[in-house]
Amino acid sequence: MQIGTSLTHCLIERQRDHEGASGEFTLLMNDIVTACKVISGYVKKGNLIGILGSAETENIQGETQKKLDIISNDVFTETLMNGTQVAALASEEMDEVYHLPKGAKRGKYLCVYDPLDGSSNIDVNVTVGTIFSILRAPAGVEDPSEEDFMLPGTEQVAAGYCIYGPSTIMVLTTGHGVNGFTLDMDIGEFKLTHPNIMIPEDTKEFAINMSNQRFWDAPVKRYIDECLAGKEGPRGKDFNMRWVASMVAEVHRILTRGGVFLYPVDSKIRAQGGKLRLMYEANPMAMIIEQAGGMAITGPERIMAIKPHKLHQRVPVILGSKNEVQVLHDYHTA
């Protein structure tokens, strides 16, 4: 595909590669693209239309929802429901599986999403994004249950995110590499700007919330201590650090110039399994990272190999440049 080709065109071309394809996937992706354009519009308008700030409600994870969390969730859910390519939906902002109304036309896909990741950043005008994962509904199941969503990340049909930063960029994988498309605001169309993204295998940049340092387990503590020791330490190089507190922004930076991102389990959050959610944060990002030549692990294991046991399950996340994540894997399995 040539730089500048529209996302719509790329999706139709891909559909042509699959003999007998029904076009359902293309339509679903088209709905996701539409939803992200609408969310991007809201994010960019911000307080011009009075949508910043807290909604004074809590999601199932006990986190206070922002007005934009709820708006984004409604936009994404309604767009996909009306699109008729899904059998059921699940979101960070909804306690349970979202079932389609009785008699509603439905398709063969499941979509799991975080409608607005990094939402603690909304009010301070820092980058946020939408993350999504597409799975196949089990054949013959009319109204999928939570159990039907319990598929490992290796079963994802596609994954992506849309980042609402200085530009709005959609990053996508269907298991054949990773491509990025920038929204051309003048014509309302995403255009291919980042073809075949590959993550540099080596890096000197890590991202972790250092305020949790005293709670870390030994392998993470060892790794960060060695990074901080710089040229004089065992790694023999000086490291740089970044922490946006918006996973979409961290992953996008890593896809662009390499790096390693860690939200490990620590003694403060051990009981809940980690901070980030497996199905709509860790798995889609892991698929993108692996497809771009990187690695995504919990510490000892590959994220995408985990068989989920509940929708809002949390896991430790370590991902990014292959050689650096390998060091962390070695420390966790030594």
Phi, psi (rounded to 5 degrees) for 254: -65, -40
Can you tell me which of 5, 15, 63, 157 binds ligand AHM, judged by CB under 6 A? 63
Smallest gap from residue 247 Cβ to ligand AHM (A): 3
Site residues for ligand AHM, 74-113, by CB under 6 A, read: 92
Can you tell me which of 150, 245, 269, 327 binds ligand AHM, judged by CB under 6 A? 245
- Degrees (nearest 5) of the Cα angle 201, 167, 290? 25
Cα separations in angstroms, 106 against 72, 89, 94, 143, 285 = 22, 11, 20, 9, 27
Q: Which stretch binds Mg ion (CB under 5 A): 54-62, 73-81, 106-114, 251-259?
A: 106-114
| Dist CA 309 CA 271 (whole Å) | 15
| Dist CA 194 CA 200 (whole Å) | 15
Can you tell me which of 31, 93, 114, 205 binds ligand AHM, judged by CB under 6 A? 114
| Dist CA 238 CA 220 (whole Å) | 18
Identify what 169 binds: ligand AHM, Mg ion, none; CB under 5 to 8 Å per kind. Answer: none
Write the binding mask 173 to 212 for ligand AHM: x where contact by CB under 6 A, - elsewhere. ------------------------------------x---
Q: Which stretch binds ligand AHM (CB under 6 A): 19-27, 115-123, 133-141, 157-165?
A: 115-123
With a CB cutoff of 8 Å and minimum separation 6, the contacts of 172 are 7, 29, 158, 159, 160, 178, 179, 180, 181
Question: Based on CB atoms, which residue is closest to ligand AHM, 25 or 206?
Answer: 206
Q: Which stretch binds ligand AHM (CB under 6 A): 194-202, 215-223, 239-247, 292-300?
A: 239-247
Q: Does 117 bind Mg ion (CB under 5 A)?
A: yes
Phi, psi (rounded to 5 degrees) for 321: -55, 130
Smallest gap from residue 223 Cβ to ligand AHM (A): 18
Q: In this structure, what is the dihedral angle of CA atoms 168, 172, 178, 181, given to the nearest 10 degrees?
A: -30
| Dist CA 231 CA 158 (whole Å) | 40
Question: Based on CB atoms, which residue is closest to ligand AHM, 206 or 263?
Answer: 263
Identify what 120 binds: ligand AHM, Mg ion, none; CB under 5 to 8 Å per kind. Answer: ligand AHM
Handedness of CA 200, 122, 316, 36 (dihedral sign): negative
Q: Does 240 bind ligand AHM (CB under 6 A)?
A: no
Element (H, E) at 227: helix 218-229
Q: Does 280 bind ligand AHM (CB under 6 A)?
A: no
Q: Does 93 bind Mg ion (CB under 5 A)?
A: no
Identify what 240 binds: Mg ion, ligand AHM, none; CB under 5 to 8 Å per kind. Answer: none
Classify burial at 96, counting beta carbons within 10 Å of its beta carbon; exposed 0-12, middle 13-18, buried 19 or more: exposed
Q: Does 247 bind ligand AHM (CB under 6 A)?
A: yes
| Dist CA 250 CA 198 (whole Å) | 15
Identify what 119 binds: ligand AHM, Mg ion, none; CB under 5 to 8 Å per kind. Answer: ligand AHM
Smallest gap from residue 206 Cβ to ligand AHM (A): 13
Cα separations in angstroms, 175 against 28, 196, 326 = 16, 12, 22
Q: Does 69 bind Mg ion (CB under 5 A)?
A: no
Identify what 246 binds: Mg ion, ligand AHM, none; CB under 5 to 8 Å per kind. Answer: ligand AHM
Binding site for ligand AHM (CB under 6 A): 63, 92, 114, 117-120, 209, 245-247, 263
Interface residues with Mg ion (CB under 5 A) are 114, 117
